[in-house]
Structure 1
């Protein structure tokens, strides 16, 4: 019965994301399997942390969308996350949830902290989504800071949307992104009644994970991911100075050719990883 409920809820989650344009067609399909993996676990805290990350991230992606369109040439309404983006964000968390259920499911434990290994698995899961949520909050809120951010490696001002750019607003947002994950974990486990006390320490652990995760992502973005800026459009761009432009594969929309112009310049980083590869590396 629980698995059937998880199946139905996963369908609702994927459908909601698709209808709200938070997920592309492939993204919705991937979200279904990610949701099913989390809901397969006996403990409600596993799907709750996933849902918190999904709903808060989707909401913040739409925050001041018109402003974000003025910053990034490839901004899509609602985010339109593809299957690759969904998996890069949630794959490790899903594997941990399934691993935990396989090892400790079926009523073999009454508290997530009664055995050293179950404690480690849950803290890995908590840290994963705290990191993802903190980084998402930092990116979606920090880009709206009234002043230009500074590049974390040089401390020089860079255009909004630059990989590796940080701002006071973004850093505070990353802390609160992790904090929200910690609160959900704290309340969920406290209400479950399995442990002999409320685990308040989960809140600072998750908050710190959100903050540190955002900093790590910024350092990686500033070094191994190239950021290009068009002085003509005054936006972050994905075009190069090649005469024929560059082909960019968009979420479920085929190939889009962005025409290059002579005003495009490199702001930071080397072209070693794309954004999805960076998300996967950060999650590790």
Structure 2
């Protein structure tokens, strides 16, 4: 265990070299190249090799893990230090420290527990803190302001970087820190380019609520670790880039949909219609239902920079979310009843058949769509609504959710199978609901 802590500490120290980038300017990549060269040519055996070696390094007798991480830092440093470089130093520092220090945080927590949630929390908390400190240090060197408003933005960027790093790590790149670093750097750069206005109370409340809901979803088994991280990232983006109304609308789907998956789960499992993985939704499932909505959030934040109207993005977001809610409730509730009928022919089929519907499921789906419509259009004057237009706009969203739910059933009956999976169908259905919401909005 001590070796793992030392190894993680070295990775964190290498990541901290990113803080020197503004001072070194065009030579910012030199320390990273020095680390890579020293690790590759100078450490081939002995205690330090055994300490720093990742799985696979011992067979190759090279510290490829550390070398790759250092080279990723060098590449990003070069990109950030070029004249008129588009990659901000803040994004470079936030990414490298979120990954390097996050790894150290996870390792330190692993000395006390092997439970996955505390390990992820250690990664995110330490990664966020280090990314925040790194960004502040960079701005102090460049003369950029570090006031209360700026710090709120930097907290958001640091948290987004650490959460994104944890998510990528949990999916495919647990040992490939160099790939994670590069991806997080460009994601953070994108958030900086949006120039979001981040208020301190909003970011504090957003982080607290999303973190708490993430824990609850994992604890009660409605989401896997990766699914939980995806949901937390999505909710954080919704509240910061959209607003409280966007956050509440999205969270209604996560909360109600997750509880519906666990409702009478054993009975649904006996009938063969239960959500796989004991009802815990993974990243694929979360993104299939939320990708369109998240794209709309980003589009809404980018609208002022692109000189395009923002209102359509609200209807895309609400229509996709209403579809996801309606489809989830119709499946989870409708699967408990006998006598489902295929949506295309209305003939009776077995429960769980793709494209099968029941009147109870349709009613539940309609109720879910109405709930999302009410949340998206309501809230005034306390909250800014997701969609302008009051009751008419809420009705358009609800109708779009029902339309998207119907699209899901039709696609399930017509194309879902070996080549087209449920997640693809869900994505297409939410896209259909988003298009329907915009079309209905333009018609009223």
| TM-score in terms of structure 1 length | 0.73
Note if contact 2:330-2:361 (Cα within 8 Å) is conserved in structure 1. yes
2:394 to 199, 203, 221: 203
Q: Give per-residue Cα distances to partners, 1:31-70, cap 9 Å, x unaligned.
A: 1211121111252111011111111111211222122011
Pair 1:136 & 2:328 matched: yes
Provide structure 2 residue ranges, at least 5 long, that are not aligned to the other structure.
Answer: 1-199, 432-444
Pair 1:11 & 2:11 matched: no
| Displacement after TM superposition at 1:154 (Å) | 2.1
Determine helix, strand or coil for the equivalent of 2:354: coil
Of 183-192 and 173-182, the range deviating more from structure 2: 183-192
Note if contact 1:141-1:170 (Cα within 8 Å) is conserved in structure 2. yes
Question: Equivalent residue for 1:283?
Answer: 430
Determine the C-alpha separation between the residues in 2 that align with 1:176 and 1:194: 20
Pair 1:67 & 2:214 matched: no
Q: Give per-residue Cα distances to partners, 1:217-269, cap 9 Å, x unaligned.
A: 0010011113xxxxxxxxxxxxxxxxxxxxxxxxxxxxxxxxxxxxxxxxxxx
| Displacement after TM superposition at 1:202 (Å) | 2.6
Pair 1:160 & 2:360 matched: no
Question: Equivalent residue for 1:252?
Answer: none
| Displacement after TM superposition at 1:77 (Å) | 7.1
Determine helix, strand or coil for the equivalent of 1:40: helix
Who wins on radius of gyration, i.e. which is larger? 2
Equivalent runs, 1:198-237 vs 2, <5 Å: 199-226=390-417
Give the CA RMSD over aligned residues: 2.4
More helix by share: 2
| TM-score in terms of structure 2 length | 0.48
Provide structure 1 residue ranges, at least 5 long, that are not aligned to the other structure.
Answer: 106-114, 227-270
Equivalent runs, 1:253-264 vs 2, <5 Å: none
Question: Equivalent residue for 1:126?
Answer: 318
Determine helix, strand or coil for the equivalent of 1:156: coil
Note if contact 2:273-2:335 (Cα within 8 Å) is conserved in structure 1. no
Determine the C-alpha separation between the residues in 2 that align with 1:42 and 1:278: 26
| Displacement after TM superposition at 1:272 (Å) | 2.4
Determine helix, strand or coil for the equivalent of 2:238: helix
Question: Equivalent residue for 1:177?
Answer: 368
2:378 to 183, 187, 192: 187
| Displacement after TM superposition at 1:173 (Å) | 1.6
Pair 1:51 & 2:198 matched: no
Note if contact 2:289-2:427 (Cα within 8 Å) is conserved in structure 1. yes
Going from structure 1 to structure 2, the CA distance change for 1:11 and 1:272 (only over 3 Å counts) comes to same
Going from structure 1 to structure 2, the CA distance change for 1:124 and 1:74 (only over 3 Å counts) comes to closer
Question: Equivalent residue for 1:274?
Answer: 421
Question: Equivalent residue for 1:244?
Answer: none
| Displacement after TM superposition at 1:152 (Å) | 1.1
Determine the C-alpha separation between the residues in 2 that align with 1:11 and 1:221: 34
Question: Equivalent residue for 2:84?
Answer: none
| Displacement after TM superposition at 1:179 (Å) | 0.3
Determine the C-alpha separation between the residues in 2 that align with 1:45 and 1:39: 8
Determine the C-alpha separation between the residues in 1 that align with 2:366 and 2:376: 16
Note if contact 1:89-1:280 (Cα within 8 Å) is conserved in structure 2. yes
Going from structure 1 to structure 2, the CA distance change for 1:56 and 1:68 (only over 3 Å counts) comes to same
Determine the C-alpha separation between the residues in 1 that align with 2:244 and 2:298: 13
| Displacement after TM superposition at 1:73 (Å) | 7.1
**Whose relative contact order is higher, 1 or 2, with alpha carbons under 8 Å and at least 6 apart?**
1
Determine the C-alpha separation between the residues in 1 that align with 2:395 and 2:428: 24
More strand by share: 1
Determine the C-alpha separation between the residues in 2 that align with 1:73 and 1:178: 22
Determine the C-alpha separation between the residues in 2 that align with 1:62 and 1:29: 19
Determine the C-alpha separation between the residues in 1 that align with 2:405 and 2:330: 7
